[in-house]
Amino acid sequence: VRDGHAHLALHEEVLDLRLALEGGEPQNDDGNPGRAAASEFRDGGFNHGAFLLAQGAAARGIELTASIWDVPAWMVTNPGSERNRKIPAELYPELAESMGEWLRTARDVYGAEIAHVSFNEADIGVNVALTPAEHTALIAEVRSRLAARGVRARWLRGDCANMGGCVAYARPIWES
């Protein structure tokens, strides 16, 4: 209250969820990235909790983002590694299918449309490692496939571990 009048400061709220693909599609559903076998995708454990949290936040008008921290072992060339896991380019369509099914479930089952997606700290390979060139190629491939599924989530480019190297990492991605 100032000068006898109430002033309201508005700020936008954002909730960042973990998009846990490793729990959502632990085994490849059918080998055809153009078709999702919905019965093979898991809505349980960590993902179920994320969906419920997203549902409650969406009902309150809170914008949602979802960050991929890890992917299933079948989706990387080094499944025994916990860090610096590498997704080969030929599996980007399968990544898009898995992401699309997760995002579709959030939207269609829980009423929670995700506005933005990202890879968590891929610059240092906390779980998944992507070079700027790989990140650019992945976004290009996955974006069009998500759009074809009716998913409108946009990419956050610069979900980096620290600001010291973020600009150098993100700039080539932004410029693409």
Q: How many CA atoms lie within 13 A of 131 on its CB side?
A: 4
Tell me: the pLDDT tens digits for 7-66?
Answer: 334 446 888 999 999 988 888 888 888 888 877 888 888 899 999 999 999 999 999 999
Tell me: the pLDDT tens digits for 77-94?
Answer: 999 999 999 999 999 999
For residue 138, what are its two tokens?
């992945």
d(CA 38, CA 55): 20
Closest CA to 27 of 74, 81, 94, 61: 74
pTM higher than 0.75, yes or no? yes
Distances in whole angstroms, Cα of residue 124 to Cα of each of 136, 154, 167: 16, 22, 13
With 0-12 / 13-18 / 19 or more C-beta atoms within 10 angstroms meaning exposed / middle / buried, residue 50 is buried
Q: Are strands 154-155 and 14-18 parallel, antiparallel or unpaired?
A: unpaired
